[in-house]
Structure 1
Amino acid sequence: MSATTITPFCADDLVRHLPEFGALLGACVHDGASVGFVMPCSVEACEAFWRGKVLPSLRAGGLVLLVARQGEALAGTVQLDYDTMPNQRHRAEVRKLLVHPAFRRQGIARALMIELERHALGLQRSLLTLDTRTGDRAEPLYTGLGYRTAGVIPGYARDTHTHAFDATTIMYKPL
């Protein structure tokens, strides 16, 4: 097994690796991740997300995109959205923590989050927020990293594989 490296990606990096990012997102959605998509989920839809939602924010300078690689393989990613209003320049939002199912249970999600927090501090952000599907396998990870639950919203998003609606847990962490 190769060592995991975590690096920030710029807009040009994302464009060069767009098929890998589409495949990562697709694998996570097919595995049941609640990240905004429902089945069936095409590779084209996954790539369109990165091209249409992430790329513009990267180019505008309001987003950090961190990438975890094992050797040449894209193992995971997470985003730090710090494009906030003037009265919120102290905070940022954690978005789309994704670890490919083949690379799970190796500490990659934790390593990505620790690096994300380091970047947040470098941007003088003292509060991080996120939301996660209530009861999801990521919830204990966030709790273990010191995130606290602000509340739960029932019926927040449709389940990836069914027509049921799942609750979301809103979490925060002062840095």
Structure 2
Amino acid sequence: MTTDTTPTHTPRIRALPTVTDAQLHALANVLIDCVAGGASVSFMQPLSFERACAFWQGVADGVERGERVLFVAEDAEGIVGTVQLVLAQPENQPHRGEVAKMLVHRRARRQGLGALLMQAAEQEARAHGKTLLVLDTSGAEAARLYARVGWQRVGVIPGYALLPEGEPCSTTFFYRELGATAEQ
């Protein structure tokens, strides 16, 4: 007997106009998984569920105020990835946005979700009149993804942050121009 391994659910990317308690809990679980997997995303191990929920509540509040757009990637089991587009910038940078906290649960990696999340963030940035996006990452896999989807590497700052277990790590900065020449 042959087992069909074809996915029964195509992952879906969407922006959340508001964040329900169930979505907040699912986002907390994604964040906890990423930190447990060694991602340097502002938190140290062990990351409690309460602390992760508090972080996402702050993000949800920013979504409500229109300061950011929160995208999620969902599969048959629920939310497995996320990225934020930070719209609120200083008054001398109305053309710029920032991509933050691009996270994909370890069980859903290498399925193209990161690229789809980035594409959604870039499309939304254009819709908001943004012509330049910036981001930073400490992950080598993430850096390869950003380069693959057209982002330009600016440089690396050594010892910029700590990994979740306390070791120093470098951070790589990227940018992407969203003008006509950037839409390849």
Shorter-chain TM-score: which interval?
over 0.9
2:46 to 40, 48, 61: 40
How far residue 117 of structure 1 moved from its aligned partner, in angstroms, is 0.6
1:1-175 aligned within 5 A = 1=7, 2-11=9-18, 13-52=19-58, 54-133=59-138, 136-161=140-165, 163-175=166-178
How far residue 16 of structure 1 moved from its aligned partner, in angstroms, is 4.2
Separation in 2, partners of 1:139, 1:84 = 24
Separation in 2, partners of 1:32, 1:150 = 24
Q: Flag as ranges the 4+ runs of structure 1 deviating above 3 A.
A: none
Gap runs ≥5 in structure 1: none
Amino acid in the other structure paired with 2:173: I
How far residue 15 of structure 1 moved from its aligned partner, in angstroms, is 3.7
**Aligned residues: percent identity?**
40
Say if 2:134 and 2:174, in contact at 8 Å, map to a contact too.
Answer: yes
Say if 2:27 and 2:56, in contact at 8 Å, map to a contact too.
Answer: yes
How far residue 56 of structure 1 moved from its aligned partner, in angstroms, is 2.1
Describe the SS at the equivalent of 1:69.
strand
Q: CA offsets, 1:122-154, max 9 Å, x none?
A: 001010100001x52100000011111222111
Say if 2:158 and 2:170, in contact at 8 Å, map to a contact too.
Answer: yes
Say if 2:23 and 2:79, in contact at 8 Å, map to a contact too.
Answer: no
C-alpha spacing 1:127/1:95, structure 2 compared with 1 (3 Å): same
Question: Over aligned residues, Cα RMSD in angstroms?
Answer: 1.2
Amino acid in the other structure paired with 1:101: R
Amino acid in the other structure paired with 1:34: S
Q: CA offsets, 1:16-49, max 9 Å, x none?
A: 4211111111011111111111111111111111
